Chain A
Amino acid sequence: KAGVTQTPRYLIKTRGQQVTLSCSPISGHRSVSWYQQTPGQGLQFLFEYFSETQRNKGNFPGRFSGRQFSNSRSEMNVSTLELGDSALYLCASSRRQNTEAFFGQGTRLTVV
């Protein structure tokens, strides 16, 4: 059974640009959540989608957004990139809400 797939694995962007990250959940999983991991702040929750609806959002500025498609695949977008957005972005999927979540390998974003 395939795990959570995140693409791309590595990305380098320039300040001011925007970026879109993709997450394909485990087959049959309908909940997708996103996390940001930095050395200073650790793992922080960004948002969660279930059945194409955002159910919960973390404490991040509006530059961070996401969406979920009818096949449960999800994308997150960061606009007007800042140096501080450099991080490992992790996606997790679960069969439904409030069940164990399985993480992908992450996308490492570097903003220069």
Chain B
Amino acid sequence: DAKTTQPTSMDCAEGRAANLPCNHSTISGNEYVYWYRQIHSQGPQYIIHGLKNNETNEMASLIITEDRKSSTLILPHATLRDTAVYYCIVRVDSGGAQKLVFGQGTRLTINP
């Protein structure tokens, strides 16, 4: 299984861009990078995913390096409600089954 490495915690000022890095050096060519976040004791929330091109949606942008060994999730204008644990996941292709392998994630704190 491709493994991801994320910083344990990060801080960001409200209104600034939050850039969350993720290393996935063993990623396979057909594996996607997914980002989820979990706000205290709630279910994880899907944010964005990508294969090799940069992606953007209403929540965030995902920048994947050309060699695909790392990626960065960008929250362009962080708010206090973005305080959460952010998980970077390389989706395991288990014969087509849906299986997400969560690591410890990055605890992002947005400060006023």
Of B46, B96, B102, which contacts A43 at CB under 8 A?
Answer: B102
Of B45, B49, B99, which contacts A56 at CB under 8 A?
Answer: B99
Answer whether residue A48 sits at the interface, using C-beta atoms and an 8 A cutoff. Answer: yes
> Which residues of chain B have a CB within 8 Å of any CB of chain A?
34, 36, 41-46, 49, 87, 91, 93-104
Complex Cα distance A33/B42, Å?
16
Complex Cα distance A108/B43, Å?
11
Contact of A94 with B43 in the complex, beta carbons under 8 Å = no
Complex Cα distance A101/B47, Å?
10
Complex Cα distance A3/B36, Å?
16
Contact of B95 with A55 in the complex, beta carbons under 8 Å = yes
Please judge, given known A-B contacts A42-B102, A42-B104, A43-B102, whether A101 and B97 are in contact too, CB under 8 Å.
no
CB distance from B21 to the nearest CB of A (A): 19
Contact of A98 with B96 in the complex, beta carbons under 8 Å = yes
Complex Cα distance A74/B102, Å?
22
Contact of A88 with B41 in the complex, beta carbons under 8 Å = yes
Residue in B36, B87, B97, B102 whose Cβ sees the most chain A Cβ within 10 Å: B97
Contact of A100 with B99 in the complex, beta carbons under 8 Å = no
Complex Cα distance A41/B16, Å?
32
